[in-house]
Amino acid sequence: MNIALLTLGGLALGTAYFGYKKKDPSLSLSNCFLDKLAKPLYNLFVEYHSNSLFQIDYIKEDYIICNTPYEKLYGIELVSNENIEKHIHNETIKELIRDSKDNENGFFYYVILKQGHYQKQYIFSHNKIIVKFLGKYFNTKLLSGLELTNVLYNCFLENSFFIEDKQLKQALHIQKDSLESEPEFLSFKRLAKQAIAKNYKQIDIFQAYKHLEIKESNILNLFNLNFTGCIWFYIDLSSSHIKNQISRLLNYAKFVGDKRPFVELEQSYHNKECDLALINAIAFLKDYDEEVIGQMGSNLKVSFIPKELKRSLHLQKNPIKYRDSEFDFLVKEEFLYNFIASIHKKHTLKPDIYGIDKQGGFINYSFSGENKNPHIAIIATSGAGKSVSKLKIMAQMIGLNFSNGECSNLGKGIGQVRLRSYDIGFSDKKFIQLLKANTKNKVAHLASSFYDFSYNLLHFPHKENQELFEADLTFNVDLVSIILESQNSEALNINEVAFFKESIKKMLKNKEYQRYRIMNLKEKNKEDYEKLLALNYKESDFLENVKEVEFKHLQTPLLIDLVKWTNKESKNMQLKEEDRKTYESLARKLDAIEKLDLFSNFDKMDITDVDVLSMDLNNFKESSLFAPIFLSIFQKTYLKDREFALKCKDKNIPAPKLFYAIEEAKNYFRVPYFTTMYEKVALEARKYNVHLCFIMQNANHIPKGILENLATRIFLLTPDKKLEMINEAKESLDIPKNVEIGLLNTQEYEMCIWYSYGVFHMKFNINEDEMKIFSTNPNE
């Protein structure tokens, strides 16, 4: 039968009828001679259409219309916020059965699809209520009609997939590219025919013929099996269909055996003593190991056998349109308990990183897009892979090409990323060398040296902006407290903080501080001194008269000026005695800091505006002043980044992401006041798209309150330290059950990521070239 001829015949008859109708409006088809021709031809057309291959007739917003008895087809993807196996609860199954059993279309399809990194699970049904019910359970939306069309094509196993822009994309995507393009359902029809033709040679079919007395399916293990294929379960909850199946079994038993078990089953079901489901399952496999069949059945609680009978029908018509009812079998509702499970984390549209899950399926993740805040903790013992993971995260975020050092996503542009790495132990060395080797990258490296370090506590680059000035003033006040605590002194009390701020504001407003000359730079700021002389300035010239913007950091008071101011106020008899004592104690504390000589002079650090800034803090690690030195360097970088973020805000465009990697976090939090400092910085940093990433060996290396407010917590465990790490994590954090399960099932070099909405596993694919850059092993 030729569909084209049928269509032309139908059109011809239609044209003839409407011609007669125009001539005689009273004409009725039922009393016309065309009635005898049109109706049979129309019925023949409908019969041919319904018996042909599975076809999509229309694509709607959230469903498709296909040539099946129930036309509308809906679908969802089974995904959640985790990739820890999550079975549907028994009570949910009972509710689903109760709500579906009275409907003729109370059935659905559970589909498992595995093709390399493309690993998916779906629910399809003609019953929208069933699909929405299960979608609500997994917190996932209905697939659009176009998405459903593409999914059904992918089930033929003839598409291919590739990773691009941290997304898994399909090579062939059914869509209407232009107005003159053919409708998507026609593309589906053509592509489906081609796929079916190939599948005659490539696909083996296996039919389930009975259920197994296994308590729980193992979908996680199923995806670990070595196969490419699509497995379909037809699950029918309709009581009328179940009764028909029981009657069929009874009639058969009358002739060949004892019918009593089926009579009892019929009576039990009629009396609502049990609920049943009708099951039919079929697997289309290619590229599989022979032993997979038995394991596949055990994981799915059924037994499979090879199937050759009706092979053509199975391949041509799609399980939605055709199933071999000879292989239908009944199960009690308990079979559906612990059967359908979500094991895949949903993909995000704007990911930062990507990798594979336990089964080799593609997975991606966004620190800011999937969390309440973008901040991160990487927790791993030595040798577990924390430095490698940190570097791989940074490499993926900037789109690093390891062969030539080019970065597709590095820079100030919208959606791009800039890196700031505070390194201890030289783990960044090869990575930074690769980036610097490519001249397109703006990279700077600061070596740790006490000689090169000098931070002016009274330098405020944004005095004209009241909001920023107050933020910077608060930062420097907190920094003073951290310096004091690092030297086993008391932090500033509330009165001292108030007088510190008031004194600085008065000094700056009235310019009541020493007027420094270029000669004052000769000893401590030799580089600036020589630059100014080269510009034809004289030693006796005042710094405030230097015109070049580059030297603006020299036109400020110094800490000694504030010491003198507070000393003077402590002797001011016009003040209350209590206030004089506060000034006296403040002056004493500031004088102690001034004598350290690291915070007494003009700034010496040249923090350039670059896309990658690596700071080696190794030589500061053992110093008691490590935390304040780090904060001073951090502030210099952060101020520049904040300034650019504010410019972006003024232009109403998104600021680039800023990834701050901070090694050996315990070194910072050993100073108690650092916690207070961090909380303020982290709150503000979020506004400027800053991602703070703390790397530590144990969860107890930073305060619990801080760790709880790092939305992404990445654990890397070694087999010998796994239980110890888990116990430490339990003590440091209130770990929920799903996270504990995730940690217990974490393999070596696999990340267990606990974030705002759940927990999941992810592993990076790292090749030899990448490992040469990442490795910190001196013997490699």
- Residue 776: both structure tokens together: 């910190």
So what's the pLDDT on residue 21? Answer: 45
Half-sphere exposure of 701 (CA within 13 A, CB side): 18
pLDDT of 700 reads 86
Q: What is the rounded distance in angstroms from the CA atom of residue 353 to the CA atom of residue 396?
A: 6
Helices (H), 449-493: 466-486
**488 dihedral zone (left: phi>0; alpha: psi -120 to 50; beta):** left
The H-assigned helical ranges of 355-493 are 386-398, 429-437, 466-486
HSE of 708, CA atoms in CB hemisphere, 13 A: 10
For residue 223, the cross-strand partners are: none
pLDDT of residue 605: 67
The number of angstroms, rounded, from the C-alpha of 307 to the middle of its chain's C-alpha atoms is 41
Torsion angle in degrees (nearest 10) through CA of 598, 599, 602, 604: 50
d(CA 347, CA 360): 15
Query: Judging by DSSP bridges, how do beta strands 329-332 and 276-286 pair with one another?
Result: antiparallel
Neighbours of 382 (CB within 10 A): 11
Q: Which residues pair with 752 in a beta bridge?
A: 715, 761
Tokens of 145: 């009609």
Q: Is the pTM of this model over 0.75?
A: yes
pLDDT value for 606: 66
Contact (Cβ atoms closer than 8 angstroms) between residue 715 and residue 690: no
Note the pLDDT of residue 22.
46
CA separation for the pair 304, 209 (Å, rounded): 6
d(CA 686, CA 684): 5
Is 570 within 8 Å of 577 (Cβ atoms)?
no
Sorted by sequence, the CB contacts under 8 Å of residue 460 that are 6+ apart come out as: 469, 472, 473, 476, 508, 556
- Tell me how far apart the 2 most distant CA atoms of the chain are, in Å: 121
What pLDDT is stored for residue 483 in this prediction?
Answer: 93
- 138 contact partners, CB below 8 Å, separation of at least 6: 76, 78, 79, 80, 342
397, 352 contact by CB (below 8 A): yes
Which residues of the chain, if any, have pLDDT below 50?
Answer: 1-8, 11, 17-18, 20-23, 25, 27-30, 33-34, 41-49
Dihedral sign for Cα 83, 132, 94, 297, please.
Answer: negative
In this predicted structure, what is the pLDDT of residue 292? 92
What are 269's two structure tokens?
Answer: 């079901």
Residue 423, number of CB atoms within 10 A of its CB: 25
Confirm if 514 and 557 have CB atoms less than 8 A apart.
yes
39 three-state secondary structure: helix
Element (H, E) at 294: helix 292-300
Secondary structure class of 525 (helix, strand, coil): coil
How far is residue 417's CA from residue 690's CA, in Å, rounded to a whole number?
10
| CA 600 – CA 514 distance, rounded (Å) | 14
Closest CA relative to residue 361, chosen from 169, 522, 205, 224: 224
Count CB neighbours of 627 within 10 A. 23
Residue pair 146/59 in contact by the 8 Å Cβ criterion: yes
Residues in a beta bridge with 695: 378
Helix (H) or strand (E) holding 202: helix 184-202
Amino acid code (one letter) for 330: L
Contact 418, 612 (CB under 8 A): yes
Q: What are phi and psi of 277, to 5 degrees?
A: -140, 150
| Residue 484 CB-half CA count within 13 A | 21
Q: Are 680 and 440 in contact (CB under 8 A)?
A: no
